[in-house]
Amino acid sequence: MKDKTMRGAPAPLDAARAVPDDPGRRKFLRTATATATGMLAAGSGLAAQAQNAGHDAHAGHGTTPPSPAGAPAHGWQGGQGSMMYMEGHDMHGVVSEPPGAPPDDAVNYREFEMTFDVIEHEILPGVKAPMFAFNGQVPGPVFRVQENDWIKVVVRNRTEEMHTIHWHGVDLIYTMDGVPMMTQDPVHPEETFIYRFQARPHGTRFYHCHWGTPLHFMAGLHGAFIIDSPNDPIRRDFPYERDYVLVLEAFDVNFAREHMNAVHEGMKRVNALMRQGRLTPRTHAFFRNYEEFVKAMDDGWRPPYTRGNAELPTVQPRFFAINGKAFPATKEQGHIKIRRGENIRIRLINGGIATHHMHLHGHQFYVVAEDGNPLPYYKRCNTIAVTPGKTFDIVVHGDNPGLWDFHDHNELQSTNNMIYPGGMMTMLEYEDLGEVPYGPSISINQ
């Protein structure tokens, strides 16, 4: 079953609005733009993109069809890490399928097609940054599936670096867990990887890249994975029709740009060595096991973490976003809408490495789920600390009509580059409010 349910706010590219000149950056962006342009030329809508990506995958690599089960001809190697790219293989066109899941004809898979891309993402007017992106958008598309659905995700790497997908909070077959070097090789440039798993348990979950995680996860490779169930007690206790998915993000665009450029250069060297068959465990700091690593140390090899601190990057996010956009550009997605007497569900997902203290004005909402799992009690709060790795679901009951601020109460994260207001801030708006005595206007430099 080909699925069209992938949704999400596309990340518009606006080639006309120039970014400041920066020689180191431009080089990277040329690559990025080429990739993004190629991708977006295939279609403007997300479904179109996904179909096109799927077409590419199957057309270009027809000689390596996914095998129904077990280890395919190439692309999956048993034992202590395949390291096949070290042995001079060009991964271009390889399709990898981990074993463990039922074959295609044994269950009714819902199939999704995804890509790893590099794009230039506009966080808000005047601020663009190079980012990694699922299907060309930050955050990636929202999955909406039913509990126990069988999911098949065919993902193609259209960047020059390596990636994986980890399905955070999903209790899947461990070979599909997306942890490089532990459950799979990373997905190499131009390689296609196929994840198959059953979606369970129900609740608000997410997915993100698990390769070079501090950079890749933060710099765009994350998205919501919502598993619904008719047995969800929250729907029973708080009948609702609308729910909202808010992926909370902290971007260090300087770190991302510099690190991406550095990784990009390093990757080119790796690719060159690989093609010459000269890539070794020590060249890439990659070992078959702990003992091999210790032996390398004993032989005088120095791991990269022993470098002095001065050379190493630090991360200090200065832009904070909801679903990719910072205030006042959160307006572009529309406000969170509610009516008197209505319950709405808001799913908060931490898509970064900072803690976000979401404070809703004028209401005591119900905290109903944590990490996707319904809570045994519901507590009433007006502020919820969404720490890294967590999701929280809250239910707002429409009992206080108005226009209400909803923002990170670490006020430094309600800024754009330290200028208040900005960042992680949006609005709860009653649709049936009637005439507004003082409508919202915008100050971006209080």
**Window 138 to 167, contacts with its own copies (CB under 8 A):** 162, 166
Contact range with its own copies by CB under 8 A, out of 4-12, 61-69, 183-191, 227-235: 183-191
**Smallest separation (angstroms) from its own copies to the CB of 173:** 7
Contact range with its own copies by CB under 8 A, out of 56-64, 103-111, 113-121, 308-316: 308-316
> Which residues in the 373-412 window bind its own copies by CB under 8 A?
373, 375-383, 385, 387-390, 399-405, 409-412
Of residues 62 and 308, the one with the C-beta less far from its own copies? 308
Q: Is residue 107 close enough to count as binding its own copies by CB under 8 A?
A: no
User: Measuring CA to CA, how many Å separate 128 from each of 9, 20, 192?
Assistant: 16, 10, 29
Give the residue from 296, 278, 277 showing the smallest Cα distance to 287.
296
Which of 78, 230, 341, 434 is the binder for its own copies (CB under 8 A)? 78
* Residue 7-46 contact track with its own copies, rule CB under 8 A, x = bound: ----------------------------------------
- Give the pair of three-digit tokens for residue 339: 């009516």
> Which residues in the 330-359 window bind its own copies by CB under 8 A?
331-332, 353, 355, 357, 359
Of residues 48 and 433, the one with the C-beta less far from its own copies? 433
Is the sign of the CA dihedral 185, 96, 174, 54 positive or negative?
Answer: positive
Give the residue from 191, 101, 186, 190 showing the smallest Cα distance to 151.
101
**Smallest separation (angstroms) from its own copies to the CB of 385:** 4
Following CA atoms 186, 143, 248, 183 in sequence, which dihedral angle do they give, to the nearest 10 degrees? -20
**Smallest separation (angstroms) from its own copies to the CB of 314:** 7
Of residues 109 and 217, the one with the C-beta less far from its own copies? 217
Of residues 45 and 388, the one with the C-beta less far from its own copies? 388
Per-residue b or e along 75-99, where b marks 16 or more CB atoms closer than 10 Å to that residue's CB:
bbeeeebbbbbbeebebebbbbbbe
**Smallest separation (angstroms) from its own copies to the CB of 68:** 16
Is the sign of the CA dihedral 168, 173, 177, 179 positive or negative?
Answer: positive
Residue in the block written with tokens 């808010």: 246
Contact 243, 346 (CB under 8 A): yes
Q: What is the 3-state secondary structure (H, E, C) of 195-224?
A: EEEECCCCEEEEEECCCCHHHHHHCCCEEE
Which of 47, 69, 179, 262 is the binder for its own copies (CB under 8 A)? 179
Strand order in the sheet with 109-124: 95-96, 192-198, 150-157, 109-124, 127-134
Q: How many residues of this chain interact with its own copies, rule: CB under 8 A?
A: 129
Contact 362, 286 (CB under 8 A): no
Pairing mode of beta strands 336-338, 425-430: parallel
**Smallest separation (angstroms) from its own copies to the CB of 27:** 20
- Give the pair of three-digit tokens for residue 343: 């319950």
Which of 37, 146, 297, 340 is the binder for its own copies (CB under 8 A)? 297
**Smallest separation (angstroms) from its own copies to the CB of 91:** 16
> Which residues in the 222-281 window bind its own copies by CB under 8 A?
254
444 Cβ contact list (under 8 Å, min separation 6): 328, 416, 419, 421, 422
Q: Is residue 74 close enough to count as binding its own copies by CB under 8 A?
A: no
Which of 99, 233, 240, 243 is the binder for its own copies (CB under 8 A)? 99
Q: Is residue 434 close enough to count as binding its own copies by CB under 8 A?
A: no
> Which residues in the 120-139 window bind its own copies by CB under 8 A?
125-127
